[in-house]
Copies of this chain bind each other. A is one copy, B any other.
Amino acid sequence: MFDILPLKGGLDNVDGFFSSGVSVGLKPNNKKDVAFIRSDALCDVGAIFTSNKFQAAPIRHFKRYGEIFQTNFILINSKNANAMTGKDGMDDIDEIFSYLPNSLNIKNPIMSSTGVIGYRLDTKKIAKSFELFDFNAKDSNAAAEAIMTTDRFKKEISVRVDVEGKGSFHIAAICKGAGMINPSLATMLCFIATDANIPKELIANLLKNAAEESFNAISVDGDTSTNDTVMLLSSAKSGVWDREAFSEALKFVTKHLALEIVRDGEGSKKVVAFEIKNAATVDEAKKAAKALSNSLLVKTAIFGEDPNWGRIASTIGASGITCEEDSLIIYYDDVLVYSPQKKQLDKESEYKANQVMKKESFKIVCDLGIGDASYTAYGCDLGHEYVSINADYRS
């Protein structure tokens, strides 16, 4: 038995973790642009990175540490992705870390970047943050703010997990992401800290499973970035371990953040769950669900609050999965809009479906009637604001 209890704030709730964010002038108007996360104990690390072939310099830098290592420091900058910068990009990271104060006893420092592709980092400017940081600050809020790019709001969460007869541990995270979010990760950064006593060999798998149902199920625009990173640092300080409790709590945390990212999808106003039921296989259910969450025609129809289920059917049909016109059923929340017996949308259903679509979040359920596998992907609408934000992101 265990309980997951939401706490206010982010990383600050985890004992021994420090974080903050400052402005060094990468962003205009003195906006915060560099953050750190530090632990007073060495931490095991789990990480998932983008599937993009052109992985950014900080990811290649991380991989130099090898399969298993411990760290106590992460530095994060926004505004510049340090991607497509070749070996120079990795040298720049080393140069920045060479300015770290010795007094901190930092081991295997990690960097993470988000922003525009194709520009060298201003190493001196970023290193200036080391003079501005209070390395003993517990200011997760400032860190979450510093890693934002096109995000409209900060994203952080923390929970305490009480495990009967064993004690408590914490999981907390900060996260950024709004645009470019895609089926298999996208410019999103997520840093998770925990004091749970995770057995080293389980970290990678626990993180992977949680991401599959959260970050990998969201989609804002179908593009996959060069910098996506989900990282889990575990200090083991609580001494408490319960696999089921930790696994559940981690899923809770990552799912919450994933939905926050969708809700913040560039210029989006609605979060939609695309639920595929009774598909032949989970892979096919996933394929169809993601096709829906990525379809421009579906996304613009959601923006227009138009219960045009034909676009839903057409997208499923085009996704390459097993499906039949005679066994498909489509609902908007609980409003039936298509079934083999009810092929045309009557005025009443149209009105009801339109009311569903006016909500800030709703479900589009497609029962394929083929097998018994299911998958839910999350997406958002696409409106004029998306175009405005992305037509000239760099300026």
Residues of A participating in the B interface, judged by any CB pair closer than 8 Å: 50-55, 81, 83-86, 88, 116-120, 179-180, 182, 221-226, 294-297, 300-301, 303-304, 306, 308-311, 313-318, 320-326, 338, 340, 343-345, 382-384, 386-388, 390-395
Contacts and interface: CB of A to CB of B under 8 A. Distances in A.
B308 A225 contact: no
A53 B323 contact: yes
Contacts of A324: 53
Nearest to A182: B318
A329 B303 CA distance: 38
B343 A84 contact: yes
A298 to B, nearest CB: 8
Contacts of A390: 296-297, 300-301, 304
Contacts of A321: 53
A304 B55 CA distance: 26
A127 to B, nearest CB: 20
Given A53-B323, A313-B117, A223 B296 contact: yes
A180 B118 contact: no
A285 to B, nearest CB: 15
A52 B300 contact: no
A86 B325 contact: yes
A226 B52 contact: no
A111 B344 CA distance: 21
Contacts of A322: 53
The listed residue with most B CB atoms (<10 A of its CB), out of A180, A301, A304, is A304
Given A83-B313, A306-B394, 9 more contacts: A53-B324, A179-B297, A223-B295, A223-B315, A226-B310, A300-B390, A303-B391, A304-B392, A383-B387
Contacts of A304: 390-392
A28 B388 CA distance: 32
Given A84-B325, A303-B391, A387-B383, A118 B53 contact: no
B88 A225 contact: no
Contacts of A392: 304, 306
Nearest to A326: B86
Nearest to A120: B344
B338 A118 contact: yes
Given A344-B120, A391-B304, A314 B383 contact: no
B84 A313 contact: yes
Contacts of A52: 314, 317-318
Contacts of A222: 294-296
